[in-house]
Amino acid sequence: MSVPRATETGGLATETGGRRMETTAPAAPRPRAHRRADRSGRRAPSHPDRLPSRLLTPVLGAGRRPPDGGSTTAHELAVRHRLLLALSALLTLSLFLSYEGVHGDANPLRTSSAPAVLYIDTALYALGQAQQDAGAAAPTSDFQKQISVAAQSLASAARDDIGGPAARQALQTVAGLITVYAVRVQQAQLVSGDRVLHDAYLSYATSVLEDRGSGILARLKVLQKQQRAAVHRQTSFGELLWLGWSTTLLLAVALAVALLETQRFLRRRFRRRYNRQLLAATALLPGGLAVSVLFTLWTHQGMEHTRDLLDRPLAGRLITEAGRDTAAHLAHTGFRAGAAVWILIGGILLMALAETGLRRHIDDYRFRPR
């Protein structure tokens, strides 16, 4: 009778009729991945879904990856979750600052800088007309009318709070000098029979108006130059704005790619065709960005047209036409500037959609980093 007995090599030893025979059990086949690694000398490539998480884990701090062979679903979800929230927050901040960089100057331009240029142009034109009537033999209504127009224009400019305290002080000084000028012209007209006294009063009035250093016209031209500089500053699209909008567009593209990649990842892992929250975020992103860019283009074009309109001497009827055109170019800028708050609301909504779209899956695969 033969009795099988295990051997040290893992085979079987059978004793039959005093003779001992050994057989060796066949070795179990190695996994295909190991055989492939042995033949090539390299590890098998990682799953394509794991590549983004390998690159972004150090940046986003999504915890340590599970060891090879373990489930990485929770880790992949955490990486994508943090990436979507981070990109949404950065995009919201960049878009808000870039939008405000353009629209934040539209309201001061419409309510202060542009009207100030027109008020000063009106005062300069009225004083020029008054000077033509100053040599009349008797006081005329036209002279008084032009002086009143100049004084009222400067009062309106001061009421609009242009240029800060220094500009307001300069306007008050000019208003006082206009009063002195008008009084001296009236005195000259009242003593028109005394040629010497008439010429003296008129010469003094002319010096008050036209003195190159401290005359009314010289002071008004300095103020006009300052206000035109303010218009140029408020309507310029400088390097910082170009950088801000370029960064915004890059972040928008990165977020769109991340949303589409996350949608693809969920489809592969959970066999769900679409994630409605991520689809809503994908639709909200280009829609909100397009409206913001369109509003910015309209506002900036109106500001550029206003600058071109005011960057030249204006007189007479041209001043009235320029005021009407300026109001048309800058119409609705206040409404568009107020839309900046919707950028913040849209950013919060984007983050909420990303959160709710992934939260259920994250809760199903909750893990603790070791």
**Per-residue model confidence (pLDDT) at position 358:** 79
* Banded model confidence at residue 241, pLDDT cuts 50, 70, 90: very high
Q: HEC states along the chain?
A: CCEEEECCCCCEEEEECCEEEEECCCCCCCCHHHHHHHHHCCCCCCCCCHHHHHHHHHHHCCCCCCCCCCCCHHHHHHHHHHHHHHHHHHHHHHHHHHHHHHHCCHHHHHHHHHHHHHHHHHHHHHHHHHHHHCCCCCCCHHHHHHHHHHHHHHHHHHHCCCCHHHHHHHHHHHHHHHHHHHHHHHHHHHCCCCHHHHHHHHHHHHHHHHCCCCCHHHHHHHHHHHHHHHHHHHHCCCHHHHHHHHHHHHHHHHHHHHHHHHHHHHHHHHCCCCCHHHHHHHHHHHHHHHHHHHHHHHHHHHHHHHHHHHCCCCCCHHHHHHHHHHHHHCCCHHHHHHCHHHHHHHHHHHHHHHHHHHHHHHHHCCCCCC
- When mean pLDDT is compared across 60-69, 131-140, 268-277, the lowest value belongs to 60-69
In the prediction, which pLDDT does 201 show?
A: 86
pLDDT > 80? residue 24: no
Q: Tens digit of pLDDT for each residue in 46-100? A: 455 554 545 444 444 444 555 554 456 777 888 888 999 999 999 999 999 999 9
More confident call, 95 vs 364: 95
Return the exposure string of 271-286: e unless at least 16 CB atoms fall within 10 Å of the residue's CB, then b: eeeebebbebbbebbe
C-alpha distances (whole Å) from 283 to each of 84, 227, 246, 279, 288 are 15, 43, 21, 6, 9
Residue 26 pLDDT level (bands cut at 50, 70, 90) = very low
Q: What is the pLDDT of residues 124-134, one digit of tens each?
A: 999 988 888 77
> Which two structure tokens, joined as six digits, stand for 278?
């991520």
* Tens-place pLDDT, residues 140-150: 778 889 999 99
**What is residue 192's predicted lDDT score, i.e. its pLDDT?**
73
Whether 18 shows a pLDDT value over 50: the answer reads: no
Name the least confident of 106-120, 163-177, 217-231. Answer: 163-177
Specify the pLDDT at position 363.
67
